[in-house]
Amino acid sequence: MFWQALVAARDFGRLHEIASVLIRYGFGDVVRRMGMANVLERAGRVLLWKHAEELAHLEPPARVRRALEDLGPTFVKLGQVLATRVDLFAPEWIAEFSKLQDSAPAAPYAKIKQQLTEDMGGLPEEIFAHFNAEPLAAASIAQVHRARLMDGSEVVVKVRRPGIRSVIEADLRWLMRLAELAESENPELRNFRPQEVVRQFEQSLRRELDFSSECRNAEHIAQNFSGYTDQDTATQSAADKAPESTMAGLPSPLPAIIVIPRVFWQWTGERVCVQEFIAGIPGRNLADVDRAGLDRKMLARRGAHAVLKMILEDGFFHADPHPGNVFYLPGNRIAFIDFGMVGRLTDERRDQMIRVLLGLVRHEPARVADVMLDWSGDSAVDEAALLLEIQTFVDQYHGLPLKQLSIGAMLTDLVAILREHRIVLPADLALLIKAFITLEGMGRELDPDFDMAGEAIPMLEQSLRSRYTPYALIKRGWRTAGDMLALIADMPHDLSRLLRAARRGRLEIHIDVTNLKHVGNQLDGAANRLVIGIVVAALIIGSSIVMTVSGGPALLGLPLFGLLGYLGAAIGAVWLLLSIWKSSKADRE
């Protein structure tokens, strides 16, 4: 059964916490429907129903967000992932999910010190020239301390919270089973693809728990920006230029425009990572940007060019470029941190996104509709209605100058059309659209006149042209020819295996129909009730016969075995009636 694996002893405590929070925020009906109340009450756990719906006056999005905050780190992270699914949730839900702040009280330094000693092979004071026991920041999964290495390098030490993995593993088991039940039992929730969302979240969270994976992401992006000069940006100011070197009269190399913190791998592992300390102005402190004399317009353009390069050229991008993950440095340089959440795009996905964006700004609805139909997969979509709605949507921007176009607003409206037609974005594109919207918002904060469309179109056109250069065409053609030759070469072997299986009678054809599984479960339940009914009838008949036979043990003057038979029949009949009543109630709901 669904809950048998879930209600193992190790998960009882966490299950009780989850049920209590849901009840407090007015989701008691969810607790009852999912069977959590029955399981916990049978285990002797008391649920405080008297406090149910004490916060039910809040709007549903706010209640869900508050519940996620109280449920702890796994659910806060889930809310942050849901904030990227603009294709599944309306703007008011996305706005609430975006408010989720990943912060928590700091863990005691004694526990942090013990874990650091285990992971680094020595006490912090032996490895670092200085280690600040007070954290710079504390989040639900990790906290960050500032330190200095023996060679004088200023670093930050990110440490995973002790014991956090076991809590997250229990939550992930609960979430996956809940998603399975929701998708199989509720047709409306099935449209949101809960299992796919949970799988995406599980993969993202497991990668985030492994700090070495985050550091590999950082090095990958740093390598992509090696030698990057951002030639499309306006002429660099004098502050950008490095001083002349006195050696041989040669100029010193210009400092990197985009800075990615260096990783110190000798001290980095799954639970701890040591990276270069970035001494810059946090992206939220725009007043400090002005006081430092930095050029806001140039910062906005450079940030946009950097993220567009990651998306359009590299296919590997920072999926959460919000102000908390950005620092501004002298010389109008930009530093990115926190690479726990990254996006990856195949060539096909990049091509699709380029066609959509160019279709929007060039007023080509047919091009946009073609890509959206590709995204719909096997879902039934009214193509004529979709094309008409996109035509109407694109026409409202016709004639507007590029400067007045907001790519973020256009993508938000486009995603609303996707929701209306029940087209679910692939997970990688959901991250991409969220990154675009965040990027444009940051650009507008820096420079109210920031023209995202004007910055993006040249890069989009260049990326599109680069896909049709002779070299690119030859490369794709060679790859396709190689795939075709490999398929032809494998065909005799595959055909031989198919015929061999047919000769041995082992040829199998698997057809997976989701609704048939539900019908099978119903038939299985009906068969069980029928068997119990037959057993009850047999017990009644047998007990009646035993009652007519004299001799043998007796109770209250009646044959004992006859009484036991009637008792068994009564228990079976009560179970049968309760089963039928529960089944009828479920069908009505």
**Which residues are tagged catalytic?**
320
444 to 212, 326, 447: CA distances (angstroms): 34, 15, 5
Task: Provide Rg for the chain, Cα atoms.
Answer: 31
By three-state DSSP, how is residue 157 classified?
strand
Strand partners, 130: 148
Angle at 277 between CA 276 and CA 280, to 5 degrees: 130
Beta strands 316-318; 281-282: pairing state? unpaired
Give the rounded distance of the alpha carbon of 440 from its chain centre.
22
Angle at 358 between CA 352 and CA 361, to 5 degrees: 145
DSSP class of 323: G
Give the rounded distance of the alpha carbon of 83 from its chain centre.
9
Beta strands 326-329; 281-282: pairing state? antiparallel
Taking the C-alpha atoms of residue 79 and residue 72, their distance in angstroms, rounded to an integer, is 11
Are the C-beta atoms of 68 and 93 separated by less than 8 Å? no
DSSP class of 263: B
Taking the C-alpha atoms of residue 7 and residue 43, their distance in angstroms, rounded to an integer, is 9
Are the C-beta atoms of 21 and 67 separated by less than 8 Å? yes
SS (H, E, C) 145-182: EEEEECCCCEEEEEEECCCHHHHHHHHHHHHHHHHHHH
Which two three-digit tokens encode residue 110? 């004694």
Q: Which CB contacts under 8 angstroms, 24+ apart, belong to 359-364?
A: 359/394, 360/394, 360/397, 360/407, 360/410, 360/414, 361/402, 361/405, 361/407, 361/453, 361/457, 363/394, 363/395, 363/397, 363/398, 364/394
218 CB neighbour count, 10 Å cutoff: 24
> Tokens 């946090």 appear where?
282
Are the C-beta atoms of 135 and 103 separated by less than 8 Å? no
By three-state DSSP, how is residue 76 classified?
helix
Angle at 223 between CA 261 and CA 285, to 5 degrees: 35
> Tokens 């938000």 appear where?
412
Dihedral, CA atoms, 18, 19, 22, 24, nearest 10 degrees? -110
By three-state DSSP, how is residue 276 classified?
strand
Which two three-digit tokens encode residue 236? 């660099």
Taking the C-alpha atoms of residue 60 and residue 189, their distance in angstroms, rounded to an integer, is 16
289 to 165, 300, 320: CA distances (angstroms): 39, 12, 21
Beta strands 128-131; 554-555: pairing state? unpaired
